[in-house]
Structure 1
Amino acid sequence: MSFRSWCAGKNTNLIFPNNPKRELILQTCKYPKVQQMCGSSNTLISTNDENLFSTTGNYNFTSDLFQKTNDPVIKLYCGYYHHLIATESGRVFCMGGNNTNQFPNLTNGTISELTEQTFFKKNNLKVIDFSGGEYHSLFLCDNGELYGLGDNSYFQLESNPSTIQKKEVPVHSNKRNEVTLLSENVKLISNGLSNRHTLYITEDNTLWTQGWNNYMQCGVESTKQKVETPTIIKYLDTKNINKMCTGFELSVIMIDNSEIYTAGYNLSNGHDIKVSAFTKLKFFNNIPIKQISTGSRHCLVLAEDNKLYGFGEGKCSLPFHNSPREIELPEYDFDQELAIGSCCYSIFIYTAQNTGVIKDFQNLYESQEFTDYQINEVKVHKSILEFRLDIKIEKAQEILKQYTKKELDIFLRWVYFDKIIDKELILSICDKFGISSPNEKNLKNDLIKLYKDEDSKNFNVLVKDEDYDDENDEDDEDEQSGFEEIPVHKFILLARSGLFREMFKNINENEKNINKITDYSKKSIESLEILFKYFYTNTIELTADDDPILIVEELSDATEYYQLAKFCNLNGELKKIQSQFKI
């Protein structure tokens, strides 16, 4: 599987070659299995095999620290000069520059565990979210306490006397070289890139703002350029806010993954406008949103269907100055899931490993639905193990029964959806199954091979033959007369379609071992054969005998009808067909 990235903007800190026009360009991403990417003065990349890459800025290195400690990276965040890294166990690390002496023990270009340098570990506090500003950092702990560290010249780290009950609020200081409690009872903080202002929401759904406000990016009208004390924003539906991003002169708030509000810098007809109150962008009405990311004056919006939009003003040649517009990605084939990131003056978009197929199989494993076999108290799907390991389940059990429940879980996460948590353990188990490398054997390629193996398909979907004449077959008592069969694997239907999962749930005990199920969609056999092939391959490829107009027409509602997961990209594949055949 190849991984690609698209980058545009000021060419000082990203992973693409010299780009004087700052236009959107495509390149193959040399870092495999990217799961997160962010940057400012440097670009930080983490991958699914727990390697961490720092590239193209002041420091360049590769670290497998998190792979060795078996503590996966779950979040990255880049300030202007420093990077923050959170792991699954709740540890927080810092790397990069130390321009404001936030981290006295940090050596430039190295990784240090933050919890050893502050009182978080000492006070048994687990950091669950954080944000890196230009010269400051925010840390939200699991008990709702919000802490700040670093430069406070813009009042973005002022403590909130209205929420803090535990101790006296410190007087204003330009420096917070020691961790300072900013607020209690916080449930959500703003994430941004190089921001000098702060937004956070407390448990009573109060939205607080403070800091640099030269473009009214704090969301409140003020005669001063700085909001010097924590101030309440009262005019938004704060209880449903699920994401807040702060750039230099721009703030973006997302409500219910469907509404976007902005305050601060705005370009309208080529003129600078300061928007002092958060204003809804009507452009995004009824567009389900997956991710937003802000830079200095621009914002990227990634929709659930992998469409990409941008607005604001960035140092790149993209057509989204006046209002939000869709960004066309050169040579994007809709096969892989997208993710986005922003730097101050740049943007990047990249393909993530998790296609719809991988996500579906991950969900099937974690839901534990329809499991039919057990190894050391671990429930599994017999057909999936036999398919992936190319061995009968009884032989597989002989090998796997010697491992602990935890070790089995680690191995099965690779079997089901290619997740490599403990590489040495997985390698040793794979060796016993004659698999040379788990990296070279992936689910997507295995499923394509499985689709071509007609002899292994031991289940059938019955499809009504529209040309069958019921009147001429009145004496035929066979209930399946007039139906044609499409051979499949049952576990493919279970993994990929919510509709078929519901149908199997409703089968009574006497029918548990049936090898057929009827499709009632009234779609043609031609369309359903292509749909079921998509379940295996995640792509739609038509032959000369296929009718593209019929396929597009009949499968246009298939995502909803067959209850395909939101990250499946059937609609994107159909759009490729429409474009190819100019429908």
Structure 2
Amino acid sequence: MKLEFPVEDISKIRLAHRLTSILTNDGKLYITGTNLKTGFGSDLTEFKQYPQFKNNNTIIQEIDCGKDLFVILTQDNEIWVQGIFNGIKSDKTSVITKIQTGTNLINDLSTYNQIKCCDRYSMFFFQSNSYLTQDLENLLKNGYFSDCNIQDIPVHKILIETRIGKTFDLIKKYLESNCKLNEIQDLLKWIYCDQMINLKRTNEILNHFGIQNAQKTKLLKNDLKQLLFNEQTSDFKLVVKNEDEEEEEEELYIHKFILAARSGLFLNMFQNLEENLQKVKDYSGKSLETIELLISFLYTDELPITADTDQEFIKEEFEDIVEYYQLNPTIPMMDIFEKCFKK
């Protein structure tokens, strides 16, 4: 069998009846076999790039296949299906179909990051939050370190303003004058968790504030990157020893509510500090580089890995730091390392 790409670039392999599909780390899809007519004919003996996505910029994040079914999930939350699916028998297995949300096949709940085929007539989609959105959802429920309210719901002003792109007073006034409580709660679900419970109404509200196609253009982690080490918006300083300079210390600008949402240690620390205290020293003994990587991860679920990064050093550091800072114990840190290092 001929491979047209290095084996080490493979992200996923999915097998089904007379069909093998491979997804690469850069989101390209290759296929071989005789199960589905994919534009190559019915008997493909070499791996070829899937023709419908070969000459565009589509990035595929998940694939799965069944006996007579092939399903593709793109990074833009588009779902493409080829074959016999969802109880619909069709001889047109060579036709790939884009499935729209809001239909009887898919509901209107935000984004999907897993997709599975059960049998030749069924297709199942699994919606799953990222670890970042899980932690911020808990923050929304508990209201830790909130500094304002909308309809008596404790919220965080800078996060609201960053996500919507307008002043908090303007946002609050419009929502309380024009939206029902459940509509405000649905909007907050998008702000904190990237989820749209009521797709149509939430988009109407966002459109009022000039945000179009929010599910593709306004990702939570991208908005949080604007807050990362931002002196103008931060409400606290974390003092870290700089090992490159003897006796020198660096002050990192942070947001208490983000670190408290993601780290049990920071939550306990901030809850027990005096209210007027504006900075605290980090006593982990970790280097400035490691603490900066940690905070970047807490804001984005990503590590800013470069070609010059000492990967083994960072792995060893983070194995200790995950326990020390009491991060979400369900986070598969090794999976995150692998994804970051492959970028």
**Category of TM-score, reference length = shorter chain:** 0.5 to 0.7
Corresponding residue of 2:158: 383
- Whether the 8 Å contact between 1:459 and 1:488 is mirrored in structure 2 is yes
| Alignment match of 2:135 (pick from 360, 367, 373) | 360
Residue 438 of structure 1 and its aligned partner are, at CA, apart by: 0.8
Counterpart in the other structure of 1:443: 220
Distance 1:24-1:504 versus aligned 2 partners, 3 A rule: farther
Choose from 243, 260, 263 the match for 1:497. Answer: 263
Matched, 1:19 2:57: no
**What's the CA shift for 1:374?**
1.9
Deviations 1:218-274 (Å, cap 9, x if unpaired)? xxxxxxxxxxxxxxxxxxxxxxxxxxxxxxxxxxxxxxxxxxxxxxxxxxxxxxxxx
Shift of 1:536: 2.7
Pairwise CA RMSD: 4.6
Cα distance, 1:579–1:401 mapped onto 2, change above 3 Å = closer
1:408 aligns with 2:197: no
Separation (CA, whole Å) in 1 of partners of 2:230 and 2:124: 44
SS of residue in 1 equivalent to 2:214 = coil
How far apart are 1:384 and its partner, in Å?
1.5
Match of 1:524 in 2: 287
Say whether 1:486 aligns with 2:252.
yes
| Aligned match for 1:563, one of 315, 326, 339 | 326
Task: Report the alpha carbon displacement of residue 427 of structure 1 after superposing the two structures with TM.
Answer: 1.8
Decide whether aligned partners of structure 1 residues 536 and 32 sit closer, same or farther in structure 2, where only a CA change above 3 A counts: same
TM-score by length of 1: 0.42
Assess if the C-alpha contact under 8 Å between 1:460 and 1:515 holds in 2: yes
**CA separation of 1:391/1:371 partners in 2, compared to 1, >3 Å: closer, same or farther?**
same
* Match 1:7 to one of 1, 7, 14: 14
Gapped regions of structure 2 (runs ≥ 5):
1-10, 23-28, 34-43, 91-95
Deviation at 1:355, TM superposition (A): 3.6
Question: Where in structure 2 are the equivalents of 1:310-349 lying within 5 Å?
Answer: none
The 5 Å alignment of 1:170-569 reads 354-402=129-177, 403-439=179-215, 440-451=217-228, 453-464=230-241, 483-507=249-273, 511-541=274-304, 550-569=313-332
The one-letter code sitting in structure 2 at the alignment partner of 1:523 is K
8 Å contact kept, 1:357–1:496: yes
Please list, as runs of the form range in 1=range in 2, the aligned pairs for 1:63-142 lying within 5 A after superposition. Answer: 63=100, 64-66=102-104, 80-83=119-122
**AA of the residue aligned to 2:256:** K
User: Structure 2 length normalisation: TM-score?
Assistant: 0.66
One-letter amino acid of the counterpart of residue 208, structure 2: K
Q: CA deviation at 1:453?
A: 4.4
SS in 2 for 1:557: helix
Secondary structure in structure 2 of the residue aligned to 1:485: strand
For residue 527 of structure 1, report the CA deviation from its aligned partner. 1.7
- Name the CA distance, whole Å, in 2 between partners of 1:24 and 1:573: 28
* Residues 382 and 14 of structure 1, relative CA distance in 2, 3 Å threshold: same
The alpha-carbon deviation at position 22 of structure 1 amounts to 9.1
What is the letter of the counterpart of residue 224 of structure 2?
L
Tell me the CA shift for residue 490 of structure 1. Answer: 2.2
Aligned amino acid, residue 412 of structure 1: L
Match of 1:462, SS state, is strand
Given that 1:373 and 1:379 are in contact with CA atoms closer than 8 Å, whether structure 2 keeps it comes out as yes
Q: Secondary structure at the match of 1:82?
A: coil
Instruction: Write the distance in 2 (CA, Å) between the matches of 1:387 and 1:502.
Output: 26
For residues 30 and 419 of structure 1, the distance between their equivalents in structure 2, rounded to whole angstroms, comes to: 22
Counterpart of 1:450 in structure 2: which amino acid? L
Shift of 1:67: 8.8
Instruction: Using the TM superposition, give the Cα deviation of residue 52 of structure 1 relative to its aligned residue in structure 2, in angstroms.
Output: 6.8
Name the aligned partner's letter for residue 501 of structure 1.
Answer: L
Distance in structure 2 (CA, Å) of the matches to 1:81 and 1:445: 38
**How many pairs were matched up?**
297
Greater percentage in helix:
2
Q: 1:271-310 deviations in whole A, cap 9, x for unaligned?
A: xxxxxxxxxxxxxxxxxxxxxxxxxxxxxxxxxxxxxxxx
Distance across 2 between alignment mates of 1:7 and 1:454: 46
* Distance in structure 2 (CA, Å) of the matches to 1:421 and 1:17: 34
What residue in structure 2 maps to residue 290 of structure 1? none
Q: Does the C-alpha gap of structure 1 residues 24 and 483 become closer, same or farther in structure 2, counting only changes over 3 Å?
A: farther
Structure 1: distance between partners of 2:17 and 2:164 = 48
- Matched position secondary structure for 2:203: helix
Residue identity (%)? 29
